[in-house]
Structure 1
Amino acid sequence: MVNTALITGSYGGLGTCFVGIHAERGGDLILVGRSQAKLEAQAKEVEEKYHVTVHTIAADLSAPEAAQNIYDTCKSNSWTVDVLINNAGFGGRGDFTRERTMEQDMSMIAVNIETPTRLMKLFLSDMVKRGSGKVLNVSSTAATLPGPLQAVYYATKAYVTSVSNAIWRELQGTGVTVTALMPGAMRTGFADTGGLADTKLFSNAVDPKQVALDGYNGMLKGELNVISGLPGMQKPMMSLAPMFPKKAMLNFVYNQQIAGSADK
């Protein structure tokens, strides 16, 4: 059955990968992002390449009314959302009290937490009524521990994983599932826009294509969490992290995120 996926942050990094995966399988799309011009260019390219139907919705996801406007647009056009991929999000390196502004961090909370939560509130009800639907929330391995120099970002991803897992349990027996994708550092625009490109944390960043595929397939299976994109020793280190003394782990994460640490 051909279904329709709504993907936020569709024209950057991981979002572009999700779009290609879904379209390649014959699925229609609703692309959501800030720039109408970029959305239209992406829609044209995808329609020509995959011969699927693509709709676009331009929205500033930091605005409190964004989710309701997206939902209302889908309803008014009779677009059924079978798959919701809350992919849009951003981070930003800097000391919480001395470098990060109030606007930066409140906007991050809005995009990473508030809007995905509102979208789930709106679209999940329809999915449950139909008895089918899939949600994929892009979280991060950052959800597993606090992140000095990215304090708010790590906290937003802890929320995303926690709320996704709780709703996954609540939805049992409805035919609807929520999956959290927890990637490691990836080679996307995230590092550049967040001021993290020259840090140790991103020195071994991976290609997002496999991460997107792992997340998409895990979503189809209704998995709880999908961890992907951890090179080398990062995967065993992540599983052992809860056993390390908290202060030592905080120092380790701090040092990984100092500007210029990639060369040290």
Structure 2
Amino acid sequence: MHSAALVTGASSGLGAEFAVQLAARGHDLVLVARSEDRLTALAENLIAEHGVRVHVLVQDLAAPDAAQRVTDRLAARGLAVDLLVNNAGFGTCGHFEDIATARDHDQLMVNVVALVDLTHRLLPGMLARGTGAVVNVASTAAFQPSPYFAVYSASKTFVLNFGLALRQEYRGRGIRVLTLCPGPVDTPFFDAIGTREAAVNGSMTTPEPVVRAALRALDRDRGYVTPGLANALSAHLLPRRPRTLVTALAERVTRKVLSPARTVPQPKEYAA
């Protein structure tokens, strides 16, 4: 078996940047997303620049059997995963009743179900080999309820709590688990959600420093990381109770996404 790092949502945004920085560290890669053309172009660039092996797996992670399909193809190629980056994800925003049920269903399949299923299928192999790591991409939205982002923020709260629980379970057993909680990052996420107003704090960073901070935190075996001083202060210093008051205050910030000019295109990729 040959070991590699697997990155979901790898065709753009944070996923593509994880691939670039991991390749620079010498990791062979498995890139998973829906866009074969983008994955293939990225793979060719990484092979040429870093001399690593790169495998492309085209898969829609909203499919109920997505994790099974991915792991079947890994087995067929003789690949073991020593680092799983659960990056794929997307969001919805607006009045809950105006969001298509199928869209929110797919969001949960990608943000939660595929993430858990892939971890279930790949972590036992890491345990058997005595080493491995999982990086789950959440969001600063994980730290409080977010009206008009109800499903998205709830899904990211799940990712954060899931990651922290797993880290505690596997400490001392050779497995590191990190949860990345970035603030707004300039990626196709905002094209998919339909408005730049979804960056509710009004500022964005780029993928490069976010991924760099994540890999540094993984090297240090931290439980979670919130890159950026303002994001870290928001995550750690704002009160979380009483919850109804916190939610009411959050609604005053998030209501700006209700602009009538907002459009909701169907995304080509699920990119966190």
TM-score (norm 2): 0.89
Q: Could you tell me which amino acid in structure 2 is paired with residue 183 of structure 1?
A: P
1:81 maps to a residue whose letter is: V
Deviation of 1:75 (Å)? 1.1
Output the amino acid matched with 1:82.
D
Listed as ranges, the matches of 1:159-198 within 5 Å are 159-198=158-197
8 Å contact from structure 2 (residues 84, 134) kept in 1: yes
Aligned to 1:19: 19
Is 1:111 matched with 2:81? no
2:92 aligned with 1:92: yes
Mapped pair 1:238 → 2:224: no
Structure 1 residues 114 and 200: alpha-carbon distance in aligned structure 2, compared to 1, 3 A threshold: closer
TM-superposition CA deviations, 1:161-195 (whole Å, max 9, x none) = 11111111111221112110111111111122112
Aligned to 1:259: 257
Residue 9 (structure 2) aligns with:
9
* Residue type at the aligned position of 1:69: R
Aligned length: 257
Shift of 1:12: 1.2
Deviant stretches of 4+, over 3 Å: 243-248
Secondary structure of 2:118's counterpart equals helix
Is the 8 Å Cα contact of residues 134 and 220 (structure 1) preserved in structure 2? no
1-structure distance, mates of 2:67, 2:141? 25
Residue 245 of structure 1: how far off its partner (Å): 4.4
Note closer, same or farther for the CA distance 1:23–1:246 as it changes in structure 2 (3 Å cut): same
* Matched position secondary structure for 2:96: coil
Post-superposition CA distance 1:239-263 (Å, at most 9, x none): 23225643443233223222378xx
Measured in 1, the distance between the counterparts of 2:252 and 2:91 equals 17
Query: CA 1:16/1:229 → structure 2, altered by over 3 Å: closer, same or farther?
Result: farther
Structure 1 residues 243 and 180: CA distance shift in structure 2, 3 A: closer
Partner of 1:30: 30
Cα shift at 1:145: 0.6
Instruction: In structure 1, list runs of 5 or more residues that go unmatched.
Output: none
The equivalences for 1:87-166 within 5 A come to 87-97=87-97, 99-166=98-165
Match of 1:82 in 2: 82
TM-score (norm 1): 0.91
**What is the 5 A alignment of 1:195-206?**
195-199=194-198, 201=200, 203-206=202-205
Residue 64 (structure 1) aligned with residue 64 (structure 2): yes
Please identify, of 60-69 and 222-231, the stretch whose mean Cα deviation from structure 2 is larger.
222-231
Q: Which has the higher contact order (CA 8 A, sep 6+)?
A: 2
User: How large is the Cα RMSD of the aligned pairs?
Assistant: 1.8
Q: 1-side partners of 2:175 and 2:37: how far apart? A: 33
Q: Which moved more, 1:37-46 or 1:127-136?
A: 37-46
Query: SS at the partner of 1:80?
Result: strand
Asked if the contact 1:136/1:179 (under 8 Å) is kept, the reply is yes
Residue 155 of structure 1 deviates from its aligned partner by 0.4
CA contact (8 A) 2:146 2:250 kept: yes
Gaps of 5+ in 2: 260-272
User: Structure 1: which amino acid aligns with 2:104?
Assistant: D
Alpha-carbon distance in structure 2 between the residues aligned to 1:208 and 1:37: 21
